Structure 1
Amino acid sequence: MDVDRGASGEAAAPHLTVVLADDHLVVRAGMRLLLSQDPTFEIVAESTTVPETVRAVERHRPSVLVLDLTLTGRSSLRSIPELLAVSPRTRILVLTMQEDPAFAREALRTGAAGYLLKEAAAEELLGALRQVAAGAAYVQPSLGARLAVAGPEDDDSLTAREVEVLSLLALGHTNQEVSESLHVSVRTVETHRARIRDKLGTETKADLIAAARERGLPA
């Protein structure tokens, strides 16, 4: 097999194309600056909404999609299978502030190759990008330990959707507002709310806020 080589005779570094999906301009600017310093990476598109991201991935078929879990007020978690359907070879690295293991578990279950918190150092981000592009999985070590300890069958372990509902309720949204935000029925929100109450004992607004804060969610 032929391999491109530089003047030194060593194999050239792989060329990895990247789509950035994040609705925060500052985050994207920081990513552009970081990746521009490494010739391995080329940012081919940026997006701020789920539909934009699907179109960008379908058009460019990047090596890696760096995906925030919230894009312009909408969860992108449920879009992971669709993104992989339009570009099966694209590897998805979730880069988020959501540190609850339920989000990481659901993202990986639905097809993401990696899960990294935005607090990670620049070197870790670059390493995670290379690792998922090479076909391996990557989970931030501190979060991976929590996943291993919690396990998927813990009685008080919330699903990713339940975490989303908890976060919105803790911020003061009504069941109707939660249903509109997550594109589900009010009855579904009520069901999730009942399960959250059963698992965590959240009877009051103060209980919801406390439970959200324990999981690093805004409240």
Structure 2
Amino acid sequence: MRPTLAPAAQPIRLLLVDDQMIVREGLRLLLESQNGLSVLGEASNCPDAVALAAREQPDIILLDLDLGDVHGLDCLPELLAVSAKSKVLVLTGVYDLEIFHQAVSRGAVGIVRKMEAAEVLVKAIRKVYVGEVWLDGALMARVLSDLWRVKSGQPLEAVVTAPMRFGMAQRDVMEQFWSPQIEAPNPDEAARIAQLTEREREVISLIGEGLRNQQIADRLSISVITVRHHLSSVFAKLDVGDRFELAIYSYRHGLAKLPL
């Protein structure tokens, strides 16, 4: 009797939006060379992108902010209006926290700079697909600060030209920071978390409180070098890139409490 084959996992379906053909072709070649990624369409302008998004309902939209006549920021809410479950990952050649903040305010769940290595973009796609955010640490701190003020009933500063418009995917991600209910990790995440030692869990909890390495060392009566060793081990076990990504991961999986 032949064994039953498990059904193949569905690929992550991508829509590319960039006004430069050479960039789109390069992205397509890169992404389709990766396991589990599929480019379902390309668009060079906002109207075509909106039409494609409405028809195809992609998992992730890679959106360049410079679309010629129309700024990507203006196109972003139109894309989410016709494909609310899509997650928008912004591509940009500049580093401007103000623009990044506006992109997040209008529904983006991640921002990747074009100067980053190809593997960074691929990792960002996979992360946002499973519900993570992919944001610069300084921007994430600003977003969390805004969410804190909203939660506290305090007015936001007039830093954006449009009201906060969270897409469905982004709203789901952001609300997890404030939800009193911690979602059970999937089997893969549970296996990663189970590898953590008790001391590593203590370090993670203190990272979640915003403590620096020296403060953690003082609190636990260990050396700063030992703290660094623990963090290196934690980063590897949980597949996170830095302490800010670790803090977000720890809030989502109940390893630390968000300081409210």
- TM-score tier, shorter chain, comes to 0.5 to 0.7
How far residue 91 of structure 1 moved from its aligned partner, in angstroms, is 0.5
Which of 1 and 2 has greater Rg? 2
In the alignment, structure 1 residue 145 sits paired with structure 2 residue 138:
yes
How far residue 34 of structure 1 moved from its aligned partner, in angstroms, is 0.7
Amino acid at match of 1:34: L
Taking the TM superposition and a 5 Å limit, the aligned residue runs for 1:1-219 are 12-139=8-135, 143-145=136-138, 148=141, 159=159
Decide whether aligned partners of structure 1 residues 159 and 19 sit closer, same or farther in structure 2, where only a CA change above 3 A counts.
same
Decide whether aligned partners of structure 1 residues 43 and 87 sit closer, same or farther in structure 2, where only a CA change above 3 A counts.
same
SS of corresponding position for 1:113: strand
Query: Contact between 1:92 and 1:112, CA under 8 Å: does it hold in 2?
Result: yes
Query: Contact between 2:15 and 2:42, CA under 8 Å: does it hold in 1?
Result: yes
Task: Flag structure 1 segments of 5+ consecutive residues without an equivalent.
Answer: 1-5, 162-219
What per-residue deviation string (whole Å, max 9, x for no partner) do you get for residues 113-139 of structure 1? 111101111111001011111122111
Q: CA RMSD in A?
A: 2.7
TM, length-normalised to structure 1 = 0.60
Measured in 2, the distance between the counterparts of 1:85 and 1:149 equals 25
TM, length-normalised to structure 2 = 0.51
How far residue 93 of structure 1 moved from its aligned partner, in angstroms, is 0.2
How far residue 101 of structure 1 moved from its aligned partner, in angstroms, is 0.4
Amino acid at match of 1:120: E
Query: Contact between 1:92 and 1:114, CA under 8 Å: does it hold in 2?
Result: yes
Amino acid at match of 1:44: L
How far residue 147 of structure 1 moved from its aligned partner, in angstroms, is 6.0
Measured in 1, the distance between the counterparts of 2:54 and 2:61 equals 11
Query: Contact between 1:106 and 1:160, CA under 8 Å: does it hold in 2?
Result: yes
Query: Contact between 1:20 and 1:46, CA under 8 Å: does it hold in 2?
Result: yes
Decide whether aligned partners of structure 1 residues 158 and 24 sit closer, same or farther in structure 2, where only a CA change above 3 A counts.
farther
